[in-house]
Amino acid sequence: MLCAGLREWVPAASLAGAFLRDPADAAPTSDSLFVPGRELHVATDDPMMASMAGRYAAALFELAKDQRQLERVEADLASFQRMLDDSQDLRRLVRSPVISADDQAKALAAIISKAGVSGLTANFLRLIARNRRLFAAADMMKGFRALLARERGEVSADVASAHALTPEQMQQLSDMLRTTIGKNVQINTRVDPGLLGGLIVKVGSKMIDNSLRTKLSNLKFAMKGIE
């Protein structure tokens, strides 16, 4: 069992009135998430939840669940994820260690407004920007979706594609995975231009690599074999 431990209090306004300690600074022996007046726990055997991003994801999940905002936060994170997938400049802003916290915060405020993100999710994004954890936002969102999928009894699938998938492609992929696995599937997408084309789909320990990069690599290897 793994739960997140939190240490450093931040202002109430940071997360919709909830007091949070920074999950990344968790003491190794602590295993609790805290909101004023009660202790929250997220039990999971997923190794990802032991990471800094996983602890932030668990904190956001518990707060959203406690405030009955899981669907709202899910939709807001999906909007932010789409912007990340569509904008190389945004990915650079999020991941660059040389951009100051103030500059990140100012840019993030405009991005949040454009994406229509508000409430708990907006406060969460501001919090991780202030704590210099914005570079891990994609992994935090992935962790949140994994916890949400588990809460709903769904299976989580990680999908990498060379370009952002259209809603129609997402629906087709979802239908295919549901038919294959026999359960509803929560799809986590990310863009990897290096794939050149095709998809890499990972469900649990199983992976289907249908990327053009891998096909070309396999072809190159086969060609070497006949030289």
167-208 per-position pLDDT tens digit: 888 888 888 888 887 888 888 888 888 877 778 888 877 787
Q: Supply the pTM of this predicted model.
A: 0.62
pLDDT value, residue 195:
79
Mapping DSSP to helix (H, G, I), strand (E, B) and coil, where does residue 4 land? Answer: coil
pLDDT value, residue 211:
73
Q: What token pair was written down for 14?
A: 């940071």
Q: What token pair was written down for 80?
A: 């932010």
Q: Which residues of the chain have pLDDT under 70?
A: 1-50, 212, 216, 219-227
Short-list 167, 81, 165, CA closest to 121: 81
**Contact predicate 194/214, CB 8 Å:** no
Amino acid at 49: M
Across the chain, where does the E strand assignment appear?
A: 33-35, 38-40, 155-161, 185-191, 199-203, 206-209
pLDDT value, residue 20:
46
